Structure 1
Amino acid sequence: MIRSFQKALSVSFLAIALASTAAVAAEAPSYGPQLQGFDYPYPLKHFSFNSQGVPLQMGYMDVQPVGKKNGQTVVLMHGKNFCGATWGDTIKALLGKGYRVVAPDQIGFCSSTKPEHYQYTFQQLATNTNDLLKSLKISKAVIIGHSTGGMLATRYALMYPQQVSKLVLVNPIGLEDWKAKGVPYRTVDQWYDRELKLSAQSIHDYELKTYYVGKWKPEYDRWVDMLAGLNSGPGHKLVAWNSALIYDMIFTQPVFYELKNLRVPTTLMIGTSDTTAIGSDIASPEVKAKLGHYNVLGKQAAKLIPHSKLIEFKGLGHAPQMEEPEKFNQALFNVLR
């Protein structure tokens, strides 16, 4: 009788899980290949330019401060599974303190062009961003990069140090070289096959485990919908292909070895419970155990970067600016002052 009850209970839990998965899949919206149909927190503009022989568009928000201007501009660089829109809380707080804010979507991401062929490098994306800022007549700015945007922000500061007043890296990936630590290489085709299989449920499950330390908030659903809707929309294959090329860039172009070369005032803002590590899903248990320890990586990076500062958010994960916006923003303002 007990065994029958346990079996019935297991079946019941399985039914609930399947129903939840089906509900997530059914509710996920569908967006265009440049995220058409998704609402940005501020007016979305587009910067048109030519690169690698093709015309491209970068989506971006350029928002003027509320009230008195302080004369400074902050440029926000998003992560791989994020967009300029995910900086919404930070943008609002910065505007209230008098900052002009520019939040671009990099080529291959979100509201920007997904080229059929593009050689993705952090140098290329940094150049694209610099061209955007030139078009906006911005000669110097605070550069803030989150996740993959932290790798890009680092490259940007290495290429254009005179144009960076301060560099802030928020849980940047690339504080370790996954390949050197033993993570197997994936070909672009293997990444592509993986990206084609993305769903709202798989995005949710990955972010819950890796980004948010097992703690989910209802406001995160919007960002799952954003990614799932982009990946399942009419640009499905083109979005997946660009994502595969970008993952190859991230894995094969470490900035870790050049952290020591940074010459701009740099602050690391680290959620210590983050476990993000590219390729950890296919690494051996021995290798996986060595990856993604941000409570250690932040301290190590702070020692490598000349005269850097480290701010740790104990118990927070990959996106402290989204997990605890008020706490993060207060710490950020202290840095900017």
Structure 2
Amino acid sequence: MKRTLSLPTLSMALLLLLLLALLLGSGGCIKRYRTAPALEFAQLPYRSLDGKTWPHKSIRAKAVAKRYKMKRAPRVVYVELNPSGGQTLVFIHGLGSYLKFWRYQLDTFAAKGYRVIALDLPGYGKSDKPASFPYTMEAMADVVRELLVQLGIRKPVLIGHSMGGQTALSYAIRYPREPRAVVLTSPAGFETFSKREQLWFAKVLSVRLIEDTPEYAIWGGVRRNNFYRWKPDYEWLIEERTRLKKAKQFEQYAYANVKSVTGLARNDFVRESAKKIVAPTLIVYGEKDRLIPNPFMHGGFTRTVMRSGAKKIRGSKLVGLARCGHTVQMDCHDEYNAAVTAYLAQVAPPIAKAPAPVPAPAPPRRAPTSQPVPASRPASQASPTSQPASQPTTR
């Protein structure tokens, strides 16, 4: 007899999973930060691994506001490194996180000669968190596109993690000729959710649920579900997530998470349209990913989901990294960076190879002049000189 979970049991299991999966910004010993002061989102320290501050800039997404009938254009914050570099890489973070989750990549790829841009999507990090923003993956892709349009960037490489991967998928499907290449990192978007499951996400998840998350759940959720090789270097995740919970904008951030989960589950568009992608595409995932596929709803293996997605994108390359979790760009940053570097060297090197210089043609030799020799020359006539005629002055 086939055993099935009752709806209440299933709901509780899914609830616990969502609680852990949503909170991508923590890990470590919670007690250490329980009494720490609040950290406002505007105060998030955006620094490189060696402590150097990344100066951040912002734009107003006016076209997005107009398209989605928002009264106020959201402010979108981004970091730009090596602005004089060649090929532009655009890093798009995942659910519950912000651009700092790319700290093992931004300086590394800037040093390789790339122009590097990482943004905080609406609802996350230092960007605005408006309730009027739809928080669909298509709207997120429109924000990324408007940032690039305002900065005058053409043919970018889109690099997205998890939700950011689904955002990059939407971008590459709707604007297929714009990206030079796409790098999907443990991407959402390939897993199938039924209509009933989509409705469940929208019904059960709430702002209150996120606000009331106990600190031990934050610790357990991120450390287990997002990492396979937890290190003390990731301690900043737990501190920032714990202190952000006391921030004035935390309710808006929680709302953005709730709406984003609904948008992620409604992924029929990207699954059914992935075949429209024409940009070279690399898919990198951790073989120890505990979030994809959803273990309570579907179970199975991450590689199965990723292979099904790769088959839909013509010419895509699939790379699985052993002993690596969902946040693979941090968990296995050396292996991840090596895989991305090798792929980009083939499809989008940092600076386009210049054509071999064509040697300048040698100046033509003056043809010898033949002048008639006079039969006789008066003694008083000067000898002809070889002094050249004066040249016009060029100004």
- Cα distance in 1 for partners of 2:231, 2:76 equals 30
CA deviation after TM superposition for structure 1 residue 265, in Å: 0.7
- Distance, in Å, in 2 between the alignment partners of 1:223 and 1:55 is 30
In the alignment, which of 60, 77, 95 is matched to residue 48 of structure 1? 60
Partner SS, residue 343 of structure 2: helix
Question: Which of 183, 202, 222 is the aligned partner of 1:207?
Answer: 222
2:238 matched residue in structure 1: 224
- Paired residue secondary structure (2:103): helix
- Equivalent position SS for 1:186: helix
Q: Which shifted more, 305-314 or 186-195?
A: 186-195
Q: 1:227 to 1:258 in 2, by over 3 A?
A: farther
After TM superposition, give the deviation of residue 181 of structure 1 in Å: 8.9
SS in 1 for 2:242: helix
Q: Is the 8 A contact 2:95 2:162 kept in 1?
A: yes
Structure 1 position 180, deviation (Å):
5.8
Secondary structure of 2:133's counterpart equals coil
- TM-superposed deviation, 1:288: 4.4
Tell me the equivalent position of 2:275: 260
Q: Is 1:64 matched up with 2:111? A: no
Deviation at 1:229, TM superposition (A): 2.8
Of 224, 239, 246, the residue aligned with 2:260 is: 246
Aligned CA distance change for structure 1 residues 143 and 231 (closer, same or farther; 3 Å) = same
SS at match of 1:312: strand
Matching residue within 121, 125, 137 for 2:152: 137
Quote the offset at 1:166 in angstroms. Answer: 0.5
Mapped to 1, the partners of 2:287 and 2:293 lie a distance apart of: 17
Distance 1:161 1:136 in 2: 19
Residue 106 in structure 1 maps to residue 115 in structure 2: no
With over 3 angstroms needed to count, the CA separation of the structure-2 counterparts of 1:277 and 1:125, relative to structure 1, is same
SS in 2 for 1:209: helix
- SS of alignment partner, residue 45 of structure 1: strand
Say whether 1:304 aligns with 2:312: yes
The Cα offsets for residues 193-225 of structure 1, whole Å up to 9 and x where unpaired, read as: 221223543222111221113x42112221233
Matching residue's letter, 1:258: S
What's the CA shift string for 1:279-336, capped at 9, x where partnerless? 75xx4xxx3434xx21222222222211110111012111221112222111111010
Q: Does 1:165 align with 2:180?
A: yes
Q: Helix, strand or coil: the match of 1:26?
A: coil
1:235 equivalenced with 2:254 (yes/no): no
Task: Name the SS of the counterpart of 1:161 in structure 2.
Answer: coil
Larger Rg: 2
Instruction: State the one-letter code of the partner of 1:38.
Output: L
2:152 match: secondary structure: coil
Q: Partners in 2 of 1:294 and 1:189 — Cα distance?
A: 25
- AA partner of residue 258 (structure 2): A
Normalised TM-score (structure 2): 0.71
Gaps of 5+ in 2: 1-28, 48-53, 346-395
2:31 equivalent in structure 1? 22
Aligned to 1:16: none
Provide the rounded CA distance (Å) in 2 between the counterparts of 1:164 and 1:277.
26
Structure 1, unaligned runs of 5 or more: 1-19
**Structure whose residues are more often strand by fraction:** 1
Secondary structure at 1:115 match in 2: coil
Between 91-100 and 37-46, report the one with greater CA deviation: 37-46
Q: Which amino acid aligns with 1:36?
A: A
In 2, the alpha carbon distance for the partners of 1:302 and 1:181 equals 26
Q: Could you tell me whether the CA contact under 8 Å between 2:179 and 2:279 is conserved in 1?
A: yes
- Alignment counterpart, residue 38 of structure 1, candidates 30, 35, 44: 44
Deviation at 1:183, TM superposition (A): 7.1
Shift of 1:118: 2.3
Cα separation, 1, equivalents of 2:131 and 2:309: 36
Query: Secondary structure at 1:232's aligned position in 2?
Result: coil
Structure 1 residue 273: Cα displacement: 0.8
CA drift at 1:228: 3.1
Q: Tell me the residue number matched to 1:17.
A: none
CA contact (8 A) 1:188 1:248 kept: no
Runs (4 or more) in structure 1 with deviation over 4 Å come to 180-184, 277-280
Percent sequence identity is 25
Looking at secondary structure, tell me which structure has more helix per residue: 1
- The 8 Å contact of residues 110 and 230 in structure 1, kept in 2 or not, is answered as no
Equivalent residue, structure 1, for 2:303: 295
Match of 1:5?
none
Q: 1:207 to 1:335 in 2, by over 3 A?
A: same
CA distance in 2, matches of 1:274, 1:102: 26
State the Cα distance separating 1:63 from its structure 2 match: 1.2
Name the amino acid aligned to 2:104: D
Q: How big is the shift at 1:155?
A: 0.4
Report the alpha carbon displacement of residue 171 of structure 1 after superposing the two structures with TM.
0.5
Range moving further from structure 2, 73-82 or 200-209: 200-209
Instruction: Report the 3-state secondary structure (helix = DSSP H, G, I; strand = E; otherwise coil) of the residue aligned with 1:47.
Output: strand
Shift of 1:261: 2.2
Distance 1:25 1:243, change over 3 A: same
Contact 2:90 2:117 in 1 (8 A): yes
